[in-house]
């Protein structure tokens, strides 16, 4: 569920075309939030927004994440950490909406890496500040939660959201990617990896970016 701010005119245009619909109706009977009208629109929107980035990604990002019929998601996301550290500022500047850029760059990266060998399912709602991805390959599912660090509670909130998403996906292993855009922090502080095993047996890898 990702936050993609845009102009009122653009939102009205998308609503008129039926591309987006209200996320919910509040108690007063008024619509709140927006989400794509269906999964096909959601997929097309993200692909269009990230297509330029995907095409411009270096050819050195070869499809090498498939191992013995499974995806090495940990290796893939460690590769993204290296890419993000080296290229974040350059790639983010290509977007007018800097807040949405990390989400779109990550999805372009994943699309390039799996290179059609796997399916990426996306769940997002305009304005929620997060995006749920599930990379599906063969019978395996790899849920990935993307989140912008919006305060000290971001990690705890992200872990709960990831656990909930894993339950919906039926997975016992998941990945929470936290993008920290705090200017005063060094890359050594932003780039980290930790793993948490929860009481219910779920394993969540926290990927700092």
For residue 188, the model assigns a pLDDT of 94
Give the model's confidence band at 207: pLDDT under 50 very low, under 70 low, under 90 confident, else very high.
Answer: very high
Which tokens go with 147? 């989140």
Cβ pair 148, 24 in contact under 8 A:
no
For residue 208, the model assigns a pLDDT of 96
Phi first, then psi, for residue 124 (nearest 5°) are: -150, 155
Cβ pair 139, 70 in contact under 8 A:
no
Closest CA to 76 of 118, 113, 103, 106: 113
Percent of the chain predicted with pLDDT > 70:
68
Cβ pair 52, 63 in contact under 8 A:
no
Q: What is the pLDDT of residues 117-158, one digit of tens each?
A: 788 887 764 455 567 889 998 889 999 999 988 777 889 999
Which phi-psi region, left, alpha or beta, contains residue 131 (left: φ > 0; alpha: ψ -120 to 50)? beta
Give the model's confidence band at 5: pLDDT under 50 very low, under 70 low, under 90 confident, else very high.
Answer: very low
Q: What average pLDDT score do residues 24-35 get?
A: 65
More reliable by pLDDT, 185 or 56? 185
pTM of the entire predicted model: 0.77
| Residue 10 predicted with pLDDT over 90 | no
Q: Please report, for residues 62, 80, 106, 143, 180, the alpha-carbon distance to residue 4 in angstroms, rounded to integers and kept in the order given.
A: 29, 22, 14, 21, 17
Which tokens go with 52? 């330029």
Give the model's confidence band at 101: pLDDT under 50 very low, under 70 low, under 90 confident, else very high.
Answer: confident
Give the model's confidence band at 69: pLDDT under 50 very low, under 70 low, under 90 confident, else very high.
Answer: confident
Give the model's confidence band at 65: pLDDT under 50 very low, under 70 low, under 90 confident, else very high.
Answer: confident
Task: Report the chain's mean pLDDT, rounded to a whole number.
Answer: 79
Provide the pairing of β-strand 203-208 with 173-179: parallel
Give the model's confidence band at 54: pLDDT under 50 very low, under 70 low, under 90 confident, else very high.
Answer: low
| Residue 16 predicted with pLDDT over 60 | yes
CB atoms within 10 A of CB 125: 22
Give the model's confidence band at 195: pLDDT under 50 very low, under 70 low, under 90 confident, else very high.
Answer: very high
């Amino acid at each position: 569920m990702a936050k993609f701010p845009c102009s009122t005119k653009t939102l009205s245009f998308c609503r008129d075309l039926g591309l987006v619909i209200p996320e919910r109706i509040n108690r007063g009977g008024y619509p709140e939030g927006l989400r794509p009208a269906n999964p096909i629109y959601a997929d097309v929107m993200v692909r269009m927004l990230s297509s330029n980035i995907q095409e411009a990604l270096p050819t050195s990002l070869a499809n090498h994440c498939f191992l013995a019929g499974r995806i090495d998601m940990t290796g893939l996301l460690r590769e993204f950490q290296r890419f993000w550290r080296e290229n974040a500022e350059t790639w983010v500047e290509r977007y007018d909406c800097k807040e949405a850029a990390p989400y779109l760059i990550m999805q372009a990266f994943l699309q390039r890496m799996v290179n059609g060998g796997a399916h990426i399912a996306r769940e997002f709602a305009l304005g929620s500040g997060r995006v749920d991805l599930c990379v599906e390959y063969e019978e395996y599912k790899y849920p990935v939660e993307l989140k912008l660090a919006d305060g000290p509670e971001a990690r705890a909130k992200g872990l709960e959201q990831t656990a909930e998403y894993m339950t919906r996906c039926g997975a016992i292993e998941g990945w929470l990617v936290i993008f920290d855009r705090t200017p005063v922090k060094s890359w050594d502080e932003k780039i980290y990896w930790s793993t948490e095993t929860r009481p219910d047996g779920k394993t969540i890898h926290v990927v700092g970016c």
